[in-house]
Amino acid sequence: MTKKTMIVTGASGGMGLVCAQEALALGYDLILVDLHAQGMEQFAQENRHQAEINCYALDVTSNQAVVEFAENITQHGAIDALIHTVGVSPNMTSWQRIIDIDLIATAKFLEAVRPRLAKHAAAVCISSSSGYMVPENEAIEAILADPMAEDLFYQLEQLPGKPLENTGLAYSYAKKALRFYVANAAKAWGSETKRLVSISPGLINTDAGKKEFEASENFEQMIASIPLARLGVPDEIVHTALFLVSEKASYISGCDILVDGGMIAGMGKAV
């Protein structure tokens, strides 16, 4: 039986590393991607006796680097699955970097790699439950609806009051826009018999998550609104992603899967 190959981004730590570990246990060969090579290279060295593991140090915000990556991976044959975990949160960087990494670079990476995916392949990217919490804003959402637009940042900077200079809002609208990108791209992916899905995690107990919790003024209120009354753990997101790229999820595409313990439902938000 021919082994399947999966790309995992953000693989040097956090959710991406957990995903690589779980995918290895399922028998995948791996193509690991991260800006920082050390973590994934160590993982690869420790596990190459089990599978073919190739590592690529890559800045996903570099268009040229992403194009070159998509060309280079042709040597590994068709790719069966992609799980894209790269992302930044509100307290990590500027609003521009949040939009660039969480929306623009994600969309461009997915589109660059799509031609390298095998028939019946699937890709999963990570959105956020916070994208369900922001109010509708036609002006912002119309601009973010085209992540490939060359003048996207210029358009955002012309908005009255510059609302996205608030990094929390920038993050939430970027994740909301990513959800809509997945829905809009599903037809093109489907025409190639490929699937695209997003996952919106809720409050997950990760290092990055802890920084956001500490900075939040309404953290206790948010916990109280979760029907399951606890934080999630990275494994719960990873297991969902691995299911979604598997053949067991072969009729799921173009949608977002909330993995939030019922938080959005508990807040009475429309899904």
* Residue 195 located in a structural domain: yes
DSSP 75: G
Indicate whether 85 pLDDT > 60.
Answer: yes
- CA angle 214-92-196, nearest 5°? 105
Q: How many CB atoms lie within 10 A of CB 182?
A: 25
Cα–Cα distance measured from residue 269 to residue 22, given in angstroms and rounded to the nearest whole number: 32
Ordered strands of the 53-57 beta sheet? 53-57, 29-34, 5-9, 79-84, 117-126, 195-201, 256-259
pTM: 0.95
Residues 178-201: tens digit of each pLDDT: 999 999 999 999 999 999 999 999
* Residue 142 located in a structural domain: yes
Which is more confident, 270 or 46? 46
* Residue 190 located in a structural domain: yes
Share of the chain above pLDDT 90, in %: 88
Q: Would you place residue 220 in the very low, low, confident or very high pLDDT band (cuts 50, 70, 90)?
A: confident
Give pairs for 212-218: CB < 8 Å, separation 24+. Answer: 212/89, 212/90, 212/91, 215/90, 215/91
Total number of residues shown for the chain: 271
Q: What is the pLDDT of residue 269?
A: 65
Owning domain of residue 84 = 5-266
* Residue 40 located in a structural domain: yes
Domains contained in the chain, number: 1
Residue 132 belongs to a domain with what CATH number?
3.40.50.720
Indicate whether 133 pLDDT > 70.
Answer: yes
* Residue 271 located in a structural domain: no
Select from 220, 207, 203 the least CA-distant residue to 133: 203
Indicate whether 216 pLDDT > 90.
Answer: no
* Residue 253 located in a structural domain: yes
Cα–Cα distance measured from residue 95 to residue 112, given in angstroms and rounded to the nearest whole number: 24
User: What mean pLDDT is predicted for residues 198-206?
Assistant: 93
